[in-house]
Amino acid sequence: MDRSAALARAFRRRCPWCGGRDVFTSWFELRPACPSCAYRFAREEGYWVGAMVVIMGLIEVVFGLLMVAVIGLTYPDVPWTPLLAVGLVLMVVVPILGYPLAKLLWIAIDLLVHHRAGERPDGAFSEPGKSGIGEP
């Protein structure tokens, strides 16, 4: 697996492991595994908590950039009410539009952090007797 390409694949809504397409059945429904390489997306109970952290970070970055840009361009007469209204809309729109990206980014981050040498897409190991635990 080319680990450096995992994030780029996620940004293109493809499997972070192989780059395969059609990993979503709908905007909100991720397949249990990649149709191309059979990489299992959800590893254990609570796995998607990381995706929630990614989407919250995305929301904070978008809102922070909006705040800095508007305040920087309009200081000292900052239009607080329109800024608040746009911010509230973004708090609803960004999570909806960013949902697929957050899930795939979390899978890619998990791959980059936890991938073990010899691991196959199905989670097993290609070399007999290798558990992957504690190995580089």
Distance CA 20, CA 35 (A): 7
How high is the pLDDT of residue 35?
93
Q: What pTM does this model have? A: 0.76
Per-residue pLDDT 10s for the chain (136 aa) are 566 688 999 999 999 988 999 999 999 999 999 999 888 888 788 889 999 999 999 999 999 999 999 999 999 999 999 999 999 999 999 999 999 999 999 999 988 887 765 566 555 544 444 444 444 4
Residue from 62, 37, 61 nearest 120 by CA: 37
How high is the pLDDT of residue 129?
44
Sign of the Cα torsion 31, 33, 39, 43 reads positive
| CB-based contacts of 91, cutoff 8 Å, min separation 6 | 59, 63
CA distances from 64 to 52, 67, 106 (A): 18, 5, 21
